[in-house]
């Protein structure tokens, strides 16, 4: 299994479907933003072969060369997105979901009407620049995984009920039903209405907040790609502590000035210590002292019905591989397991009628040994499906293969109360 994200270049192209005019081109190399651009002749050829297929009623969705994977996707017969990746081990599933997130980010920033009814190409190009920072974060080596799993990245605070009570009270006092606490792009707590947000905005909003430069307060106009793609809402953010932000989704009211320090102090001063305990939770996801087996180097827990996930590569942080390698291994294993062994999540674009009918034959578990075959070398990866939960573990080379399923089962039972 190749590690997704290892050295290679990713190009993302956005074109107006009717005219083929490029709206933007973004790129990354080795997981970091790059300024490389594709020649116009290559862009024209990639779009031309896609349009040629469409004229013959043939849907060209992907292609592979010796060292590059290409995926095309059209949205509303108006926008064509093309991604090319020369990263080792890149899967089509990963690139398809990347394009879905990119289009969601475009709608989030400029609204669906601007994208489906393009009146002025140059003006649209300028408006889309506001989405570059968010889109570039999908191309880079993020610590989050919601772009791939389409589940909200979460953390488990030590005193979640206190924070939930304060959040619900504050949101009600501010006159909105949509509120959340976000640390490093991950949701700590949210109101019931916030959790009911559809895909992709449930993933995009905290990701957007985590990708923006730090600010004490923001009043940010956003469209909801699923819930309100043509009418903008306001995303209000307030920094409670460095790295920890309070987010409210609302209409014309309340004005940001109404969220004064007295209102903040009334609700958040009594829970200051629980808030402080949330700040270091970002990369760790789990409360300090949560018991995990010493062989576990990283884990991804998904709740497929709630569309939430816990993702961390912090356990045994002093051991090889590096956190970046651990994230790549788990992302790559997730893609392999999802595309090969487990069916697409219910309601996802990849789900087909025959997949839904065959769900009674779903495997319960799968595992992979990555690296040299000698005893005590390489990494072990195991995935376990139980009801709505799916757990993926990255284990050290010392972990016996015959014990992996038992370890995964025990860990899943321990994590179940958290998600």
At residue 38 the predicted structure's pLDDT band, cuts being 50, 70 and 90, is: confident
**What local confidence, expressed as pLDDT, does residue 352 receive?**
52
For 175, phi then psi, to 5°, come to 85, 30
Per-residue pLDDT tens digits for 301-349: 999 999 999 999 988 767 888 999 999 999 999 999 998 888 766 556 5
40-62 average pLDDT score: 86
Does the pLDDT of residue 256 top 90, yes or no?
Answer: no
**What local confidence, expressed as pLDDT, does residue 353 receive?**
47
Rounded CA gap, 133 and 36, in Å?
16
Closest CA to 84 of 6, 189, 179, 13: 13
**How many other C-beta atoms are found inside a 10 Å radius of the C-beta of residue 104?**
27
Percentage helix, strand, coil for the chain under 3-state DSSP, each rounded to 5? 40, 25, 35
CATH architecture of the domain formed by 296-342+364-416: 2-Layer Sandwich (3.30)
Does the pLDDT of residue 55 top 60, yes or no?
Answer: yes
**What local confidence, expressed as pLDDT, does residue 5 receive?**
47
Q: What is the model's pTM?
A: 0.91
- CATH number of this structure's domain 10-140: 3.30.450.70
Q: Provide the 8-state DSSP code for 117.
A: S
Mean pLDDT (the chain) is: 89
Give yes or no for a cis peptide into 200 (omega within 30° of 0). yes
396-409 average pLDDT score: 91
Does the pLDDT of residue 57 top 90, yes or no?
Answer: no
Rounded CA gap, 151 and 145, in Å?
8
**Do 153 and 184 form a contact (C-beta atoms < 8 A)?**
no
| Superfamily of segment(s) 157-284 | Dynein light chain 2a, cytoplasmic (3.30.450.30)
The number of residues in the chain equals 419
Sheet of strand 32-34: strand arrangement: 32-34, 22-29, 9-16, 79-85, 69-75, 62-64
**What local confidence, expressed as pLDDT, does residue 380 receive?**
92
**What local confidence, expressed as pLDDT, does residue 31 receive?**
75
**Do 405 and 365 form a contact (C-beta atoms < 8 A)?**
yes
List the chain domain ranges. 10-140, 157-284, 296-342+364-416
Rounded CA gap, 391 and 385, in Å?
7
Q: What pairing do the DSSP bridges indicate for beta strands 389-395 and 379-386? A: antiparallel
Supply 213's token pair. Answer: 């430069």
Supply 257's token pair. Answer: 């000035």
At residue 376 the predicted structure's pLDDT band, cuts being 50, 70 and 90, is: low
Q: Give percent of the chain above pLDDT 70.
A: 93
Matching CATH topology for 10-140 and 157-284? Answer: yes
Per-residue pLDDT tens digits for 268-304: 999 999 999 999 988 889 988 898 999 999 999 999 9
**Do 23 and 349 form a contact (C-beta atoms < 8 A)?**
no
Rounded CA gap, 28 and 34, in Å?
5
Sheet of strand 365-370: strand arrangement: 152-153, 308-312, 296-303, 389-395, 379-386, 365-370
359-387 average pLDDT score: 80
Q: Provide the 8-state DSSP code for 338.
A: I
SS (HEC) of 138-175? HHCCCCCCHHHHCCEEECCCCCHHHHHHHHHHHHHHHC
**Do 78 and 110 form a contact (C-beta atoms < 8 A)?**
no
Rounded CA gap, 195 and 308, in Å?
9
């Amino acid at each position: 299994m190749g590690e997704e994200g290892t050295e290679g270049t990713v190009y993302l192209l956005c074109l107006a479907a009717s005219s083929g005019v490029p709206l933007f081109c973004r790129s990354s190399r080795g997981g970091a933003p790059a300024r490389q651009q594709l020649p116009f002749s290559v862009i024209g050829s990639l779009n031309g072969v896609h349009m040629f297929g469409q004229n013959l009623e043939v849907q060209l969705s992907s292609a592979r060369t010796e060292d590059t994977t290409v995926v095309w996707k059209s949205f509303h017969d108006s926008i064509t997105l093309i991604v090319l990746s020369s990263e080792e081990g890149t899967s089509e599933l990963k690139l398809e979901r990347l394009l879905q997130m990119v289009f969601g980010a475009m709608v989030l920033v400029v609204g669906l009407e601007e994208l489906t009814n393009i009146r002025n190409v140059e003006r649209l190009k300028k408006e889309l620049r506001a989405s570059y920072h968010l889109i570039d974060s999908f191309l880079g080596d993020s610590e989050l995984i919601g772009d791939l799993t389409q589940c909200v990245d979460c953390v488990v605070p030590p005193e979640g009920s206190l924070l939930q009570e304060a959040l619900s009270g504050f949101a009600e006092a501010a006159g909105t039903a949509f509120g959340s606490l976000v640390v490093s792009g991950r949701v700590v707590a949210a109101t019931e209405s916030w959790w009911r947000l559809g895909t992709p905005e449930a993933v995009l909003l905290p990701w957007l907040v985590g990708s923006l430069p730090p600010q004490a307060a923001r009043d940010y106009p956003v469209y909801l790609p699923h819930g309100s793609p043509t009418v903008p809402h306001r995303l209000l953010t307030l920094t409670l502590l460095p790295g920890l932000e309070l987010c409210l989704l609302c209409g014309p009211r309340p004005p940001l000035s109404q969220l004064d320090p007295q209102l903040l102090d009334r609700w958040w001063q009594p829970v200051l210590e629980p808030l402080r305990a949330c700040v270091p939770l970002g990369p760790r996801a789990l409360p300090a002292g949560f018991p995990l087996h010493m062989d576990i180097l990283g884990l991804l827990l998904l709740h497929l019905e709630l569309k939430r996930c816990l993702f961390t590569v912090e356990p045994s942080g002093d051991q090889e591989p590096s956190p970046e390698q651990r994230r790549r291994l788990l992302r790559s294993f997730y893609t392999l397991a999802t595309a090969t062994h487990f069916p697409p999540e219910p309601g996802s674009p990849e789900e087909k009628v025959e997949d839904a009918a065959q769900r009674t034959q779903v495997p319960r578990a799968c595992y992979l040994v990555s690296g040299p075959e000698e005893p005590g070398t390489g990494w072990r990866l195991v995935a376990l499906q139980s009801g709505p939960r799916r757990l993926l573990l990255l284990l050290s080379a010392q972990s016996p293969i015959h014990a992996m399923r038992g370890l995964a089962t025990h860990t899943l039972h321990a994590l179940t109360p958290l998600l």
